[in-house]
Structure 1
Amino acid sequence: MNEVKTLGLFLVTALAEIVGCYLPYLWLREGKSIWLPVPAAFSLAAFAWLLSLHPTAAGRVYAAYGGVYIAVAIFWLWWVDGIRPSNWDLLGSAVALTGMAIIMFAPRS
């Protein structure tokens, strides 16, 4: 799988996980509809399915995915929560994405 497809799949996967966790948060912390866990469950099921689409070892995928999740969560902080990330947030995201790239795209024998 080429790098662009891998990154795209990771991005969609991260969004599915964040939405799946954010909807119950809205219900439990913000007093929103009790029905929000229903679409959250579908989103989390999609998250698990999306992780299974990578053609490499599960442990490697999970480790690398964590780096993308961190970056997407920081973007979510800005876009959804309305909180501008600090320079440290951005640096941490860059480090996490670098780790993801090393794990996923390093030459293998």
Structure 2
Amino acid sequence: ACLIAFAWLLTLVPTDAAGRAFAAYGGVYICASLAWMAVVEKSPPDRWDLIGGAVCLAGAGIILFAPRG
């Protein structure tokens, strides 16, 4: 259901920004996967998992919010 909702929401984004929206989704998906691993699988992420997740979110933020000329 979440994937269907995401696909539908992606259709609402202007086509010139769809790639950026998908990149942001990727960063959030990676962090959600780490949260799933910690909560559901009872396997806490190590520092490298957390650093990697932070890098992914930072990258997604740069892609989304960088000034465009």
**Offset at 1:78?**
0.7
Percent identity of paired positions between Structure 1 and Structure 2: 56
SS class of match (1:52): helix
Q: 1:68 to 1:87 in 2, by over 3 A?
A: same
Paired with 2:11 and 2:36, the residues of 1 have a C-alpha distance of: 24
Paired letter, 1:89: D
Q: Which residue of 2 aligns with 1:101?
A: 61
Query: How many aligned positions are there?
Result: 68
TM-score by length of 2: 0.81
- The answer as to 2:37 corresponding to 1:77 is yes
Please report the TM-score for the alignment, with normalisation by the length of structure 1.
0.55
5+ residue gaps, structure 2, are none
Of the two structures, which has the highest relative contact order with CA contacts closer than 8 Å and spacing of 6 or more?
2
Q: CA RMSD in A?
A: 1.7
